[in-house]
Amino acid sequence: MGSTINIESFTRFGTPKRDLSIADEILFKRSEILINMASDSAKGIIHGSGMKCSDFTGVPCSGEITVQLMDIPNELRWSCNVCGTEGVIKNWRKSPAYINSVRQKLREKKQEATTLRLSPEGYSRMKKLAADKADLMDILSSAAEQDGLYIIPISEFDIMRLIEVIAIRIEMRDKDRPELSALRDEIITSFARNSLI
């Protein structure tokens, strides 16, 4: 059994924590590099990452890190093919560097943003839920009012992030579940309508 690294231990609200020790900062950066190198590979298959064991572990070794990406559970399992060192990076999809690389790839493909249409109540509630996520707030703040609705240009990736924010709050709050579920359904319905156009 090797080491376990949880990306959420190094981040707060999707960004790196400011008070990381130097050792934690190095470990976090190395983990993000490995995640980015492995993120395009097929899930569930063990393959070479292209990263030297010594670059990842900091221990002299001529081996290469092999990786296996899993969605459920959200883990990146790694091992060295020479020294046998191994470990797990949990919540690899929550790595800020990975999220930024996904955004960059979307920009490079020049995927057009879809349009999200929210009621005033839904828009207000979504802004409150996303208040601690600066990038989502920037997107929501770009909304324009039209025919009593808030029209928001947004990527499919960021729509999924909005739904994830709502899902987390649904798990945490008993009394607000009906309103949160209604907001989630409003976003899904708006997205589905756009997909059919």
> Which position has the token pair 């490995």?
34
Mean pLDDT value of segment 93-121: 78
Say what the pLDDT of residue 174 is: 65
pLDDT digits (tens, 9 = 90+) for 9-66: 998 877 888 899 999 999 999 999 999 888 877 778 888 888 999 999 889 999 999 9
Judged against a pLDDT cut of 50, whether residue 168 lies above it is answered with yes
Q: What pLDDT digit, counting tens, does each position of 128-143 carry?
A: 999 888 888 989 998 9
In this predicted structure, what is the pLDDT of residue 13? 78
11-50: string of b/e by CB count within 10 Å (b at 16+)? beebebeeebeeeeeebbebbbbbbbbbbebeeeeeeebe
pLDDT bucket at 126, cuts 50 / 70 / 90: very high
Could you tell me which residue, 45 or 151, shows the higher pLDDT? 151
- Which residue has better confidence, 64 or 98? 64
Residue 120: its pLDDT value, please? Answer: 95
* Cα–Cα distances in angstroms (integers) from residue 83 to residues 57, 63, 64, 66, 79, in the given order: 11, 7, 9, 12, 9
Query: d(Cα 93, Cα 99) in Å, to the nearest integer?
Result: 7
Q: What is the mean pLDDT of residues 117-131?
A: 93
Residue-wise pLDDT tens digits, 179-191: 999 999 999 888 8
Segments making up each domain of the chain, as ranges = 3-100, 112-196
Write down the pLDDT at residue 128.
92
Q: Which of 99, 105, 98, 91 is nearest to 37 (CA)?
A: 98
Residue 80, number of CB atoms within 10 A of its CB: 22
The first and second tokens of residue 78, run together, are 């790694």
